[in-house]
């Protein structure tokens, strides 16, 4: 039975990612949920590639309602707000343009929503076997409980408070509008929104089976810039509300500092610091082996030996620099790398 209007509105911000949009839109077209119950809004943040033309072609091909809206480049948070403004559903679901959804993704969300199980939710992101080895290595590094998975919502055994992330999250439209939508932060705007959702007293749920697949960065340089910005963002979030800066968030900067001191100490006191470095390298190798077994790839295992330090040092360095600028020098918001944010 057709509904008078969609119940779910999927909102995806994008900027110069037309090729990746193909994968996302195809995955939405293959959802098991009846297409009468949902719509999708592609919210273009001023792309200069063929995003508009390609989306217009998809509008004619897909079996669900697909909209295209555009604005001048102002960041993903603003683009998401623009998408919500043009939506018709009662539940807003966000998925990023470098993701694709599992076939049952929307059906699971819909079933929980109809049973009034949440006011807002978040779900995990994974990789697929046909992704590049570097993307699979980055995905393991970011989602494993041994690294940061315990903070990102990939396990119910969380190491910190669960904040839904914009690559896979949803919120009732009335609540989204009540708390003012996404803020002006360039990085970390999804965590800041989730914090306001928590503070509103809303019921926030982790849907571990509502899975999206995330196409990660394809070079170590891009990955480093990304995690550096996340380290910066965590400090900016802590300045907004200290509850968003928990002890566990200091861990990467601690290991970054410890590693640098160990390298210096190796020259001065080798007998003391050689065992420290051996323990560190052994731990890195152990986690890399676990990742290689999980991904069933010796290439991924080899890449993890490089990727994991890039993640820890990138995040830790951004965190330390932002901490110094904001808590020691009392400077205004520090934005990190700004080019090619998406």
Judge contact between 9 and 3, C-beta under 8 A: no
Query: Final residue of a domain: which of 195, 217, 239?
Result: 217
Instruction: Kindly list the distances between the CA atom of residue 3 and the CA atoms of 6, 88, 113, 322, in Å, as whole numbers in the listed order.
Output: 7, 12, 16, 49
Residue 145 is assigned to a structural domain of this protein: no
- Looking at the DSSP bridge assignments, the partners of residue 91 are 8, 172
Residue 96 is assigned to a structural domain of this protein: yes
Residue 107 is assigned to a structural domain of this protein: yes
> Virtual CA dihedral for 263, 264, 266, 268, nearest 10 degrees?
180
Judge contact between 273 and 265, C-beta under 8 A: yes
For the chain, the domain total comes to 2
- Residue 20: give the domain boundaries: 8-132+152-217
Same domain membership, residue 189 and residue 235: no
Query: Final residue of a domain: which of 217, 241, 257?
Result: 217
Query: Final residue of a domain: which of 190, 217, 244?
Result: 217
SS3 content of the chain, % helix, strand, coil (to 5): 55, 15, 35
Judge contact between 93 and 188, C-beta under 8 A: no
Q: Domain of 203: which CATH number?
A: 3.90.550.10
Residue 333 is assigned to a structural domain of this protein: no
Same domain membership, residue 232 and residue 203: no
What stretches of the chain adopt beta strand conformation (E)? 8-14, 38-44, 65-70, 91-95, 99-101, 120-122, 125-126, 168-172, 204-206, 212-214
pTM over 0.75: yes
Same domain membership, residue 283 and residue 156: no
Same domain membership, residue 162 and residue 203: yes
Q: Which strands form 38-44's sheet, in the order they lie side by side? A: 65-70, 38-44, 8-14, 91-95, 168-172, 120-122, 204-206
Per-residue pLDDT of the chain (342 residues; tens, 9 = 90+): 445 678 999 999 999 999 999 999 999 999 999 999 999 999 999 999 999 999 999 999 999 999 999 999 999 999 999 999 999 999 999 999 999 999 999 999 999 999 999 999 999 999 999 999 999 999 999 988 777 655 555 556 566 789 999 999 999 999 999 999 999 888 899 999 999 999 999 999 999 999 999 999 999 999 999 999 999 999 999 999 999 999 989 999 999 999 999 999 999 999 999 999 999 999 999 999 999 999 999 999 999 999 999 999 999 999 999 999 999 999 988 777 766 556
Same domain membership, residue 123 and residue 202: yes
**CA–CA distance, 173 with 178 (Å, rounded to integer):** 8
Residue 53 is assigned to a structural domain of this protein: yes
Same domain membership, residue 303 and residue 169: no
Same domain membership, residue 242 and residue 100: no
């Amino acid at each position: 039975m057709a509904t008078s209007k969609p119940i779910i509105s999927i909102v995806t911000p994008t900027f110069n990612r037309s090729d990746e949009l193909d994968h996302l839109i195809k995955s939405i077209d293959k959802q098991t949920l009846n297409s009468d119950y949902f719509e999708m809004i592609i919210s273009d943040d001023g792309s200069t590639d063929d995003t508009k033309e390609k989306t217009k072609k998809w509008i004619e091909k897909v079996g669900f309602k697909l909209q295209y809206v555009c604005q001048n480049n102002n960041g993903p948070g603003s683009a998401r707000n623009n998408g919500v403004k043009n939506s018709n559903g009662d539940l807003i679901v966000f998925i990023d343009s470098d993701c694709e959804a599992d076939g049952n993704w929307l059906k699971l969300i819909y079933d929980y929503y109809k049973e009034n199980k949440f006011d807002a939710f978040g779900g995990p992101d994974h990789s697929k076997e046909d992704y590049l080895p570097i993307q699979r290595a980055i995905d393991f590094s970011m989602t494993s409980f041994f690294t940061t998975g315990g903070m990102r919502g990939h396990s119910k055994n969380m190491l910190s408070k669960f904040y839904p992330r914009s690559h896979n999250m949803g919120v009732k439209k009335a609540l989204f509008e009540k708390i003012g939508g996404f803020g002006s932060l360039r990085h970390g705007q999804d965590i800041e929104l989730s914090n306001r959702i928590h503070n509103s007293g809303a019921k926030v749920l982790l849907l571990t089976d509502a899975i999206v697949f995330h196409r990660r960065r394809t070079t170590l340089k891009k990955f480093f810039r990304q995690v550096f910005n996340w380290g910066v963002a965590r400090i900016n979030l802590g300045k907004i509300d200290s509850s968003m800066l928990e002890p566990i968030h200091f861990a990467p900067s601690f290991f970054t500092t410890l590693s640098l001191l160990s390298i210096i100490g190796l020259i001065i006191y080798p007998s003391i610091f050689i065992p420290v470095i051996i323990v560190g390298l052994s731990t890195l190798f152990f986690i890399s082996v676990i990742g290689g077994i999980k991904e069933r790839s010796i290439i991924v295992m080899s890449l993890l030996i490089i990727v994991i330090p890039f993640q820890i040092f990138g995040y830790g360095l951004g965190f330390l620099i932002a901490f110094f600028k904001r808590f020691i020098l009392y400077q205004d918001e520090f934005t990190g790398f700004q080019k090619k944010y998406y």
